[in-house]
Amino acid sequence: MLLTSLLTGAVQAATYTSAGFIEWPATATIGALSSVAATGNHIYVLHRGEPPILQFDKKGNYLKGFGEGLFKVAHGLRADPTGAIWTTDNGNHVVRKFSSDGKLLLTLGEVNVGGAGSDHFRSPDDIVISTKGDLYIADSGNGRIVRLTSAGRYVSEWGSKGTAPGEFKLCHGLAIDSRDRIYVADRGNNRVQVFDPQGKLLHVWSGFGNPYGLLMSGKELLVSEGEVHKIFHVDLSGKVINSWGGPDVLQLPHFMAIDSQGILYVAEVNGKRVQKFKQ
């Protein structure tokens, strides 16, 4: 399947080819696909079935599953530079850290107790990790971004519920660049907001529908739009430079990852699949 994009007045250079799907093990009961992460050696998938975290080698061969019985609404998944796996659980209000072999190392927040303050979350959706190892949590139920150290110690927060610049209707997805600028998919407000590492608002971008997931790819921001089933490419001035997909290609694209070979992985909620694309 060859995917190209024609925007008004110009043919865009980016061309994506579907490279198939991650193959699920027969032992897993696959639920709605939420997130995918890629490290040098592994691919991890987070879904709303059992076991909720699936580990594959870099060729896509299934290795193991873990996290059984822990999740209520599995949502965000990221790998840190040490190879540890961080997840967000929108349903029971916690952030968890696992070792690469599936051992639960840390739980942040209180299971099944939503709250604010420095030691609770309410429906956390996504997480990114800075070049210094700090964690930034999209705490969507509280309309804020929470910054923690790599050990989980509270540092700061910003944001509140609303529609004004710097506020969020639903801070749903995150991305981070090499300068540790934080990109927030403000789902419901139909925009992406960009902040410096301390939470100063830098930019507000729109024009690509309602953003679900975000991913930095070189000098572009990839934005998944689950309502029209497309991926938008946005340059770092906020201009849409490419788009592709549609319901015949993607089935509610959510969170994404890129591996060391440049393969783009897209978790599709409605499709209950992770699709791979080559550029």
Taking only the tens place, the pLDDT of each residue in 90-122 is 999 999 999 999 999 999 999 999 999 999 999
Query: What fold is seen in the domain 2-278?
Result: Neuraminidase (2.120.10)
- Would the pTM of this model clear 0.85, i.e. be above it? yes
Reference 79, options 47, 41, 51, 38; nearest CA is: 38
Torsional class of 221: left (φ above 0), alpha (ψ -120 to 50), beta (otherwise): beta
pLDDT (0 to 100) of residue 274: 98
For the chain, first and last CA: distance in Å? Answer: 12
DSSP three-state, residue 142: helix
Alpha-carbon distance of 79 to 102, in angstroms, equals 12
How confident is the model over 121-152, as pLDDT tens digits?
Answer: 999 999 999 999 999 999 999 999 999 999 99
> Where in the chain are the domains?
2-278
DSSP three-state, residue 10: strand
Structure-block tokens of residue 194: 């960009």
Distance (Å) of CA 175 to CA 65, 102, 119, 216, 248: 26, 24, 23, 6, 26
